[in-house]
């Protein structure tokens, strides 16, 4: 195609299609003076370990292909502090991929075009332009493509000495996403190999991850998906890869701390640890690559939830028993009892529960059964989807006084309240109660009470200055978070505060016998 020397480079590159470790040592001028690689003997230890994992994956895929077994996709996720070289590894992988798999594509995803143009692609260009085969490629903004001389050769028919490849698909291309137009993100395919690199992955919307599954429908050995980010939030698809067993299936997550890492200024690390404290969220996120204990926009912190899970408090039989219900006709209806500080076991195994697929009549009958069995002092039902249930219960004789919970109301605390809605007001009562309350222990998995309580955000209302409101359930769904029905049922129990049983006796106000279980106080 060109000179013998250039053809030798071509042959050497293609020989490394299954060995990214050998490729990075072949491609870059490690330890060569007057280059960006001066003083660098090779990739960092953790980068080399990941490249070796990719090599092992390719060996397994080659064995599978030779023996008629299913091929797999390499998926890896890296959460780290600042500066370990995540983007550098992505750049090496992209360069290896399209250098050794002719006609293949690498798609690079980030949150904004500015990030791609100003950060990601400048990092990638260092690896392409400093390499042994730098003369193959041209870098243009958010695109790295093959030079015209190479494109002209490979697109020819084999009868003319070409490979019949489409040079437009032999490319590294940046791709952004827009929440209002998800379909614009879809549609990338390649028979020769596909690599998807997700930079700053913690901020990428769930629909992007879902649509990305369609990139890998072509069956070949060279399919890769790699995500890298700092773990700045306790929610989202990137967080789930490290904390949700189901979402983690097929992925290889790795957390990378920069403590003691060669090439990272440890004096800065030590100063940051002293300045912010070894247990601070800053150190967890910016140094150790862990998720923060509490995100900036998190309404309820993990600390108060853990306190409520750990508390073992004394019983107080005089506290009122309250039943909270979050109805969802034909869906999942959650209910929960709370007696004072106890929302863990005040009614034994029946302290909490749910009904699936019930209609209004069936849900109402379940409420009546709970009322008959435990005789709560108050029954608080979410008005949103519960109007039909409320109408039925109103017609029946019940022990507990019925209360409608209107989450969408203005705050009941009046115009001076810091909250912009009754929902935020009730959730704030839950938040303030948790340090001295009791809830069940769980593993924090998606859908558990602790996950629901801590995964909802907040913001300032745009309509009322200085008023705090909860993240909407629609916005939570966009992040891939289900409706917090169990947490809402708990919040419903804070709608009212009936008098204590002993106070009612003093006023000669009778109390029903067997009023359900026990409660706790500090």
pLDDT 10s digits, 398-427: 988 999 999 999 999 888 899 999 999 999
287 confidence band (pLDDT: 50, 70, 90) = very high
Where does 130-280 have alpha helices with state H? 148-154, 206-212, 237-243, 266-276
> Which among 293, 288, 217, 206 has a CA at the least distance from the CA of 247?
206
Strand partners, 404: 381
Q: Is pLDDT above 60 for 519?
A: no
Distance (Å, rounded) from C-alpha 332 to C-alpha 489?
12
Rounded mean pLDDT, 393-398: 92
Per-residue pLDDT tens digits for 67-97: 999 999 999 999 999 999 999 999 999 999 9
Could you count the other beta carbons within 10 Å of the beta carbon of residue 386?
Answer: 25
Per-residue pLDDT tens digits for 95-124: 999 999 999 999 999 888 888 888 899 999
Strand partners, 199: 228
What integer pLDDT is reported at residue 503 of this predicted model? Answer: 65
What integer pLDDT is reported at residue 416 of this predicted model? Answer: 85
Q: Is pLDDT above 50 for 520?
A: no
Rounded mean pLDDT, 340-346: 94
CA end-to-end distance (rounded Å), the chain: 82
In terms of Cβ atoms closer than 10 Å to its own Cβ (0-12, 13-18, 19+), residue 508 is exposed
Task: State how far Cα 464 lies from the chain centre.
Answer: 30
> Which among 137, 135, 165, 169 has a CA at the least distance from the CA of 152?
165
Distance (Å, rounded) from C-alpha 28 to C-alpha 32?
9
As a dihedral over the C-alpha atoms of residue 355, residue 486, residue 292, residue 124, rounded to 10 degrees, the angle is 40
Question: What pTM value is reported for the model?
Answer: 0.68
How many alpha carbons lie under 13 Å from residue 120 in its C-beta half-sphere? 30
**For residue 422, what is the enclosing H or E element?**
helix 422-433
Q: Is pLDDT above 70 for 337?
A: yes
> Which among 118, 489, 192 has a CA at the least distance from the CA of 325?
489
How many alpha carbons lie under 13 Å from residue 79 in its C-beta half-sphere? 25
Rounded mean pLDDT, 199-215: 88
The residue among 508 and 251 whose pLDDT is bigger is 251
Beta strands in 364-516 (DSSP E): 378-382, 401-405, 458-460, 468-470
Rg (Cα) of the chain, in Å, rounded? Answer: 29
DSSP 145: E
Distance (Å, rounded) from C-alpha 386 to C-alpha 392?
10
Rounded mean pLDDT, 178-183: 68
Residue 338, classed as helix, strand or coil, is: strand
Distance (Å, rounded) from C-alpha 405 to C-alpha 326?
9
Q: How far is CA 70 from CA 214, 218, 219, 440, in A?
A: 18, 13, 9, 43
Q: Is pLDDT above 80 for 1?
A: no
- Where b means 16+ CB within 10 Å and e means fewer, 418-432 reads ebbbbbbbbbbbbbe
| Structural domains of the chain ordered from first start | 4-256 (3.40.50.300), 264-293 (no CATH), 302-521 (3.30.420.240)
Where does 67-221 have alpha helices with state H? 86-100, 113-115, 121-129, 148-154, 206-212
Q: Is pLDDT above 70 for 518?
A: no
Q: Is pLDDT above 90 for 350?
A: yes
Q: Is pLDDT above 80 for 293?
A: no
Distance (Å, rounded) from C-alpha 476 to C-alpha 458?
11
What integer pLDDT is reported at residue 2 of this predicted model? Answer: 58
């Amino acid at each position: 195609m060109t000179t013998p020397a250039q053809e030798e480079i071509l042959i050497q590159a293609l020989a490394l299609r299954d060995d990214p470790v050998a490729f990075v040592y072949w491609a870059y001028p490690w330890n060569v003076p007057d280059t960006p690689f001066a003083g660098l003997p090779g990739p960092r230890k953790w980068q080399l370990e990941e490249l070796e994992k990719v090599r092992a994956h390719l060996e397994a895929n080659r064995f599978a292909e030779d023996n008629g077994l299913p091929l797999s996709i390499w998926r890896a996720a890296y959460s780290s502090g600042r500066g370990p070289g995540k983007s550098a590894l992505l750049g090496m992988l992209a360069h290896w991929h399209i250098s050794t798999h002719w006609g293949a594509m690498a798609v690079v995803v980030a949150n904004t075009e500015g990030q791609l143009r100003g950060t990601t692609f400048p990092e990638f260009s260092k690896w392409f332009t400093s390499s042994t085969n730098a003369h193959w490629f041209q870098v243009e903004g958010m695109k790295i493509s093959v030079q015209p001389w190479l494109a002209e050769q490979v697109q020819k028919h084999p009868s003319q000495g070409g490979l019949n490849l489409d040079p437009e698909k032999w490319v590294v291309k940046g791709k952004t996403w827009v929440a209002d137009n998800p379909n614009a993100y879809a549609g990338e395919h390649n028979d020769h190999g596909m690599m998807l690199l997700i930079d700053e992955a913690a901020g990428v919307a769930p629909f992007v991850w879902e649509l990305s599954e369609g990139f890998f429908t072509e069956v070949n050995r060279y399919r890769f998906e790699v995500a890298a980010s700092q773990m700045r939030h306790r929610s989202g698809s990137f967080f789930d890869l490290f904390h949700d067993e189901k979402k983690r299936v097929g992925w290889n997550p790795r957390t990378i701390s920069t403590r003691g890492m060669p090439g990272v200024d440890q004096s800065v690390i030590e100063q940051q640890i002293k300045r912010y404290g070894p247990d601070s969220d800053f150190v967890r996120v910016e140094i150790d690559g862990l998720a923060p204990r509490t995100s900036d926009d998190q309404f309820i912190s993990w600390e108060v939830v853990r306190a409520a899970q750990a508390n073992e408090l004394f019983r107080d039989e005089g506290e009122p028993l309250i039943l909270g219900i979050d109805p969802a006709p034909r869906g999942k209806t959650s209910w929960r009892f709370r007696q004072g500080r106890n929302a863990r076991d005040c009614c034994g195994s029946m302290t909490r529960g749910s009904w699936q697929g019930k209609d209004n009549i069936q849900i109402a009958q379940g409420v009546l059964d709970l009322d008959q069995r435990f005789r709560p002092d108050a029954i608080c039902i979410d008005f949103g989807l519960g109007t039909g249930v409320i109408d039925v219960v109103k017609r029946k004789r019940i022990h507990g006084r019925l209360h409608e919970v209107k989450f969408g109301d203005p705050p009941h605390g009046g115009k001076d309240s810091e909250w912009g809605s009754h929902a935020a007001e009730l959730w704030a009562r839950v938040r303030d109660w948790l340090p001295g309350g009791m809830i069940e222990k769980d593993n924090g998995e998606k859908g558990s009470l602790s996950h629901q309580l801590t995964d909802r955000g907040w913001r300032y209302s745009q309509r009322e200055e200085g008023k705090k409101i909860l993240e909407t359930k629609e916005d939570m769904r966009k992040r891939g978070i289900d409706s917090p029905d169990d947490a809402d049922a708990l919040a419903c129990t804070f709608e009212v505060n009936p008098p204590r049983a002993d106070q009612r006796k003093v006023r000669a106000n009778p109390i029903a016998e067997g009023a359900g279980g026990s409660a706790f106080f500090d």
